[in-house]
Amino acid sequence: MEQTMRNFFLFLSKNRGLTKMAKRYGLRFGASRFVAGETVELASEVIKDLNNKGLSVTIDYLGEFVDNEKEANEMADNCIVAIKEIGRRGLDSQLSLKMTSMGLDINESVVMNNMRRILEAAKENQVFVTIDMEDFARCGITIDIFKKLKSEYDNIGTVIQAYLYRTEQDIKDLNEYSPNLRLVKGAYKESPEVAFPEKKDVDDNYKKIIKMHLLNGNYTAVATHDDVIIEYTKKLVKEYNIPNDQFEFQMLFGIRNERQLELAKEGYKMRVYVPYGTDWYGYFMRRLAERPANVAFVLKGIFK
């Protein structure tokens, strides 16, 4: 039943018609629990509040199904506005973004132009930028773009997904770039031809790549809400005397808030992924797909 629900919400997340409708009607039906607001001003207030609680942040201006250069350029413009807001207010926040929102499905020159504009602004404001990973079809080209940009800029990282078979080799290939990587399990529906279909195999591979990347001496963001993975990471860094400034934990805004604060109080860097913007529908559906408890929360909010 749980897998059926997951597949259903992942299917809904790719519906362009529902995405347009969601933009029109705003943050309703519980989405505001997971999305900080529709404007950077609202999001910056959320960031400030989280910072005051001892939490770091990465902010993401949401956008999906960008298929023309004008819209891609506008998405990049909004990212630059967010970077300047972070710098102006002295917020403890990074920036996350997706290659498709920068024009990946149009052509590479659009993406590279927008990314260089963003990274220049980020360098001026001392903001780190992470390229989010998307579905398997875009994985290879995203990593290729990251490699090109990493040779030009230091303030850039990307995301690696544990559920893909290719991931262990990607970790090995990327090591020469001394990359800052966010390691995740993966939230897209993929074929068993390219991804582990069983949760245990995903978890085992996740532990493997966390250990590989940390022992390579690279900065590692362990993005998970799974206590088993969190405890595994704690024991690993203790066993190998890995300093706390070589890794951090990351969680999504609106999920396990108490646990986030606990980790921060224990002395670990805890970063919260805070999305904002009007194009929240696809992100919201993927959050519902991840945990049945999220669906129950939303239904409760609707009936209230």
Query: pLDDT by residue (tens digit) across 105-132?
Result: 999 999 999 999 999 999 999 999 999 9
Q: What is the DSSP string of 75-119?
A: HHHHHHHHHHHHHHHT--EEEEEETGGGTTTT-HHHHHHHHHHHH
**Which residues does residue 164 pair with via DSSP β-bridges, in sequence order?**
195
pLDDT of residue 13: 45
Is pLDDT of 165 > 80?
yes
* Integer Cα distance of 128 and 5 in angstroms: 35
pLDDT of residue 239: 98
The two three-digit tokens of residue 251, written as one number: 């969680």
Quick one: pLDDT band at residue 67, thresholds 50, 70, 90?
A: confident
Active site residues: 132, 182
Buried b (16+ CB within 10 A) or exposed e, 242-266: beeeebbbbbbbbbbeeebeebbee
* Integer Cα distance of 237 and 235 in angstroms: 6
Arithmetic mean of pLDDT over the chain: 87
pLDDT of residue 297: 46
* Range in 56-70, 186-200, 281-295 the model is least confident about: 281-295
Give every CB contact of residue 80 below 8 A, 6+ residues apart in sequence.
117, 118, 121
pLDDT of residue 36: 85
pLDDT of residue 302: 38
Is pLDDT of 3 > 80?
no
Quick one: pLDDT band at residue 9, thresholds 50, 70, 90?
A: very low
Is pLDDT of 52 > 90?
yes
Q: How many residues does the chain have?
A: 304
pLDDT of residue 22: 46
* Integer Cα distance of 278 and 62 in angstroms: 7
CA-based R_g, the chain, Å: 18
Q: What is the domain class of 36-279 according to CATH? A: alpha beta
* Range in 102-111, 145-154, 218-227, 292-301 the model is least confident about: 292-301
112 touches 75 (CB < 8 A): no
The per-residue pLDDT for range 245-304, each reduced to its tens digit, is 999 999 989 888 999 999 999 999 999 999 998 776 666 666 666 655 554 544 444 344
pTM of the model: 0.86
Spans of all domains in the chain: 36-279
Average pLDDT estimate for 14-23: 50
CA 49, 54, 56, 57: dihedral to nearest 10 degrees? Answer: -20
High-pLDDT (> 90) share of the chain, % = 73
pLDDT of residue 301: 41
- Using DSSP, state whether 56 is helix, strand or coil: strand
- State residue 133 phi and psi, 5-degree precision: -95, 145
